[in-house]
Chains A and B, each alone.
Chain A
Amino acid sequence: MNSPYVITRAPLSRRTFLRGTGVALTLPFLDAMRPAFGADAGKAPPRRMVCIETNMGILPQFFFPEKAGKDYAASPYLERLAAHRNQMTVFSGVSHPGVTGAHAAEKCFITGTPHPERGGFRNWISLDQFAAERVGNHTRYPSLVLAMSSEGQTLSYTRSGAPIPAEKSPKKLFQKLFIQGNPKEVAANVEAIKQGRSLLDFVGDQSKRLNRSLSKADQVRMDQYYTSVRELEQRLHSSEEWEYKPKPVVTAKAPDDIDDAKEFVAKTRLMFDVMKLALETDSTRLISLFIDTVVIHNITHHGNRPEVLGELRGHEEKQFDALNGFLTALAGTKEDNQSLLDRTMVLYGTPMGSANSHSNVNLPVLLAGGGFKHGQHLAFNTTNNYPLTNLYVSMLQRLGIETDQFSTGKGTLRGLELA
């Protein structure tokens, strides 16, 4: 908890600082705050993680490079990310063991839970939530769960397998992160939180009383209910504290949401913009983003027809351009003597190795930034895939979490070293 970049350190709170100087802080927030916490220089830098899934596939023939290692020739899609070649690792021959079921796999991209297509399937906790449980308390928002979609999809799942509803509106996200309520609104929010907590006390108590009269099997289920109550209480406690702290001020204006579902790349870019601001202001360090490209679903079933492949390639190239924009923005933001990209892992991939055939092996995936020895194509066995969940173990360790296991991953990813 001793990070100098977090505004929870009350004595030197931003509010005091603001009052003292009478100046509204603008970006870059992080560097401006540094002098106040100069005493803490030398401690571990904050680490971030962004997990992005584009759900309807990435054409493998334009993604995977032929050669392995550092000298691979960039494929057409990777060419769009050429500026960041040394800051990223491309994977081939990876997938999630046992995760099948075509589209059903899209909910397992960062959980790795096998067999989502089977009846009675219950997802495991997702990578970002696992991290949030351990390191999410440094920021106002332990994590942000986002989606570029018109439906209710999400990448993030709680420990009990419940999907966490995602924020779909970049505008609303911006408002949530940066629009400061006036003192009356803040007071009302605090009041609402207090009320919420007292209501939870009441509800938790009722569930305890109810528990006494239940059968043993039912008591186990009630226990889960009561655990949820306690978890929420902790969250509310933390929320209440944050209400007193002013939100970061940014010079950017709130974006206007794009209504046309067909403009999915433009919508993705908007979301990327707000995500970058969120990371930059340390509003959160963990983000998941579900990109739903259902508007082009029909052409992902190209049947190898050249004209359809061409159309699909055009869309996917634009998606990679948008990703490139995001990585460039992160790379161009300074924090101490590094860039934000150096400290932010960006995972980008898809749950289907071939959307045309709905296959879930040989997934196109890349990892950019975060502080690894990148600049290579790690090629694993395409007939006997390497578990992608091992990469997630590496990512958790990069966040400073001591674990050598996550989901079906039983160790770190072979060939990927920390920088």
Chain B
Amino acid sequence: MTSPSLRPLLWCGILWAGLTAATSAAEFKPASFFASHCTECHGGDAKKGGLDLTALKPDFAARETFARWEKVFDRVARGEMPPKKSAQPPPAAREAFVKSLGGELHAISAAQQREAGRVVVRRMNRVEYEQTVHDLFGITVPLADLLPEDNAAAGFDNVSSALETSATHLVRYQQAADRALAAALPAWPLTNTVRRWTGRQFFDSRPKPNREGTAPFVRFEGDTIVLCARLYKHGSVTTPPTSAPGRYRIRASVRAVNTGGKTIPMLVGKISSDRFAHEKLQHVLDHFDVPADRTRVIEVEAALPAGEQVYLEGMDLPFFQDQKKQRNGEPVGDDFKGPGLAVDWIELEGPLDAGLGYARLFGDLPQVPSRYLADTLAGKPVRDDWKKWNVPGEFTKYPLSPVSTNAAADAERLLRAFLPRAFRRPVSEETTAYFVRFVQAQLAAGETFGDAMRTGCKAALCSPHFLLYVEKPGRLDDFAVAARLARLFWNSLPDDELTALAAKGELTKPATLRAQTERLLRDPKARRFTKGFTGQWLDLRKFHDMKPDALYVEYDDLLAWTMPLETTRFFDEVLTRDLPTSTFVHSDWTFLNARLAQHYGLPGVLGLELCRVNLPPGSRRGGILTHASVLKLTTNATYTSPVKRGAWVLERIIGRPPPPPPADVAAIEPDIRGATTLREQLDKHKNVPVCASCHVHIDPPGFALESYDVVGGWRDRYRVKQPPPKGGDYVELANYPGKKVWLARPVEPAGEMPDGQAFANIDDYKRLLLRDPDQLTRNLAQKLLTYATGADLQFADRAVVEQIVSDVRQHNHGFRALVHAVVQSPLFLSK
């Protein structure tokens, strides 16, 4: 990285140059600068790196030429070219060249943006589609799985340039709309109900063979059931089954008994999950620490399919088969003194959004089973008390159908209410009339009112007005800003408050914008922002992709569940408390539960629920670079690669992605028998100039992180499967007594920064990274802007980014301040 002091000067220069760009078009003459300092290598016969500066014309209109000039600009501005060992141009000459070239690039880029905007019309990606339709109708059925995977650009899957449409998409959008409408308009009456059963009622509800199977391991205290062993899902306490898919709230009153005051960790999970989902821990809803000294009511919200049940499992209790052996098949009696998980009652509430879908489309029109539709319309009385029918029962043959005595008028009225919400802005008379005519054509063809409206709604969900974010070049109107805000923080459509402010034209007032950003961030739906952003910025989405090699005996489900949570909780904390962006590089705290603390070798953390913990000195943890989750997903789950981790750090944390490797580099065949170290094999990077130019940047973070193994544990020596030819030791793992592994060669984490500064280990390395807080903020600003606007950064955006960095610097580089600065920036508020 160049010396921090030079950069503000450079950027101010460029800003200024940009403002006067209009007059300087004729003044950019690189020839003499190139001749004096560049063409010896990059011209004539040499053409090092394939670059011939004598042939590079200032034809900035062509995209590829522009990109080359941008590269030239960056290399010279950062002092990377001419290379260190060559003669350097005098500072004034370099500055003049950079200013003048920067001015050109900025002017061209800005003109393009004025004409066409930064973001080409963007379609919703599949995550946004699913979430938007879910929120629109209050449903939870999976929809994203029907849609083709989205391509990513600039590291995010919501970037417009990568989101193209194909005929396949259109087929799938129709299927997705069908599935969504079937869930939104259930065939039978659905209401939000609360069903609670006591421990005893739960037990009595089970079929006899299950009761008999479970009985030896449970006892009762009144109506409270006490589980004395760890049972399979169906044997543990469960909720009643759900009646329909939707969002549910599960609550239970629990207590640990006979544990001598210790808490019992408890898992809350979904019963039905296939083996593959189980591998990715998709059955787990949450873990709780159940206290011994008092009753605790736990609560979990989850999206559940129909017929699903949620179960509670006491984790520290003996496995039931073991207990059976121990007790010689003797059932636990009422006087059993062993530990147990007492469940007073368990409750299922939901579907929480029952009726929302119907109300959104049909307002308060009544419904009757299709069998009675004609009679009801004719005014004839219906004798059958169909509200008492069993569910699903007759409703499958005669689903509920809305009753409209004035179909044409009702269709228009309802569409006028529905379309602006779905399209996220007021809808023109022409478009509304168009949809009304479409629905009327269905009616004329003999469809029922309900079916005609459903088809109209399906057409709306496949319409470009719904699927695309249409924006006009220049400053965005309030509705477009509302749509961007809702998409950024909730992956969804604006709610009523945002829409009302947009309608009044007040949304883009800075104070209102700030207040709304705060409101959206504080809403529970903002967890979607954490998930979407960290999932891609830090690759957390890929966390469960690969299971570590069996060599890593310490890796288990509980660790796999906790590791990504440490990172998302950490991110939320930095965001909530407006901590400096440098916290991501180093912090003296993190989020731990007992399991992760054990993995890190840190004592004194109890229970499974994660909490913020201060890190003792010498912990070797702090900041996300040392999170086990990040350390695991930057490997291939079998061995570590300094190059892979190094490139990740450059791209994600420092914001200086390395260029791709040359085509003729042979991949390394790793020899993990422990005979040669990776350092020895990668030696070429240092000694061959064409490799060194990039690897001088890539390797240092990779080497520093070699102190952490494939599952993020600290290591001083490499672990191997078999005893190495020499120098190996069979040793107990420091944090896992009783687990022994073979250790071979020592890890060498020392290295050198590109500017020559040496470091001995990860702590040294982090300290060196922290020398340039501006760059850390700049990187996050760039990532947030790309994610928030759906477009990669262009040259004219650099000036805006610098302004943001400068503003946020005044707020101690606070991350929340950065988010606000992004929302208030012209890049977010313009197309």
Binding site for B on A (CB under 8 A): 98, 100, 102, 115, 117-123, 150, 152, 158-165, 195-196, 199-200, 202-203, 205-207, 209-210, 213-218, 220-222, 224-225, 228-229, 231-232, 235, 259-261, 294, 297-298, 301, 303-305, 354, 356-359
Contact = CB atoms under 8 A, between A and B. Distances in A.
25 contacts: A98-B663, A120-B154, A120-B162, A121-B151, A162-B169, A163-B148, A164-B148, A165-B168, A199-B459, A199-B462, A209-B430, A209-B431, A210-B470, A214-B470, A218-B470, A222-B121, A224-B164, A232-B170, A259-B274, A260-B275, A261-B275, A301-B672, A303-B639, A303-B670, A305-B722
Contacts, number: 164
Contacts of B669: 304, 354, 356-357
Interface of B: 115-117, 120-121, 123, 145-146, 148-149, 151-155, 159, 161-162, 164-172, 174, 274-276, 430-431, 434, 438, 455, 458-459, 462-465, 468, 470, 472-473, 546-547, 549-550, 636-639, 660-661, 663, 666-673, 721-722, 792
Given A215-B115, A232-B167, A118 B660 contact: yes
Q: Most A CB atoms within 10 A — which of B154, B155, B164, B660? A: B164
B426 to A, nearest CB: 15
Q: Which of A117, A122, A199 has the most CB of B within 10 A?
A: A199
Nearest to A208: B464
A380 to B, nearest CB: 17
A149 to B, nearest CB: 10
A311 B607 CA distance: 40
A354 B169 CA distance: 35
Contacts of A210: 464-465, 470
B667 A359 contact: yes
Contacts of A205: 434
Nearest to B550: A298
Given A301-B638, A356-B669, A162 B463 contact: no
A298 B549 contact: yes
B168 A158 contact: yes
Given A161-B164, A206-B464, A228-B170, A356 B153 contact: no
A118 B464 CA distance: 29
Contacts of B153: 119-120
Contacts of A217: 116-117, 120
A259 B273 CA distance: 12
Given A231-B167, A359-B667, 20 more contacts: A98-B663, A100-B661, A122-B162, A164-B168, A165-B146, A196-B174, A200-B170, A203-B170, A213-B472, A217-B117, A224-B165, A225-B464, A228-B165, A260-B275, A294-B546, A297-B637, A301-B549, A301-B638, A303-B672, A304-B669
B145 to A, nearest CB: 8
Nearest to A207: B464
B476 to A, nearest CB: 13
Contacts of A163: 148-149
Contact of B636 (A120, A158, A261, A301): A301
A100 B161 contact: no
A158 B166 CA distance: 7
A220 B161 CA distance: 12
A225 B120 CA distance: 13
A220 B164 CA distance: 11
Contact of A158 (B167, B546, B663): B167
Contacts of A164: 148, 168
A207 to B, nearest CB: 5
A231 B152 CA distance: 24
A117 B670 CA distance: 21
Contacts of A203: 170, 459, 462-464
Nearest to B154: A119
B171 A232 contact: yes
The 4 closest A-B pairs by CB, nearest first: A303-B672, A120-B153, A359-B667, A357-B667
B170 A229 contact: yes
B164 to A, nearest CB: 4
Given A229-B170, A297-B546, A358-B667, A214 B121 contact: yes
B148 A115 contact: no
Nearest to B112: A217
A102 B665 CA distance: 13
B155 A119 contact: yes
A228 B666 contact: no
Nearest to A195: B455
Given A224-B164, A305-B673, A122 B117 contact: no
A199 B174 CA distance: 9
B111 to A, nearest CB: 13
Most chain A beta-carbon contacts within 10 A, residue among B167, B455, B660: B167
Contacts of B660: 100, 115, 117-118
A206 B166 contact: no
Given A162-B169, A196-B174, A231-B167, A150 B276 contact: yes
Nearest to B473: A215
Contacts of B148: 162-165
Contact of A301 (B151, B168, B170, B670): B670
A222 B639 contact: no
Nearest to B549: A298
Nearest to B548: A298
**Which of A229, A298, A305, A357: most chain B CB closer than 10 A?**
A298
Contacts of B434: 205-206
B149 A152 contact: yes
Nearest to A97: B663
Contacts of A159: 166
Given A122-B162, A162-B166, A196-B174, A202 B465 contact: no
B151 A161 contact: yes
Given A165-B172, A224-B165, A354-B669, A119 B550 contact: no
A225 B165 contact: yes
Nearest to A222: B121
Contacts of B167: 158, 228-229, 231-232, 235
Contacts of B162: 120, 122
A247 B549 CA distance: 47
Contacts of B155: 119
A228 to B, nearest CB: 5
Contact of A221 (B115, B121, B154, B547): B121
Given A210-B464, A210-B465, A160 B459 contact: no
A261 B278 CA distance: 12
A226 to B, nearest CB: 9
A300 B686 CA distance: 29
A232 B175 CA distance: 14
A119 B549 contact: no
Given A214-B470, A301-B670, A358-B667, A160 B164 contact: yes
A284 to B, nearest CB: 17
Contacts of B121: 214, 218, 221-222
A260 B279 CA distance: 12
Contacts of B165: 160, 162, 224-225, 228
B120 A122 contact: no
Contact of A359 (B666, B722, B792): B666
B506 to A, nearest CB: 25
Contacts of A216: 116
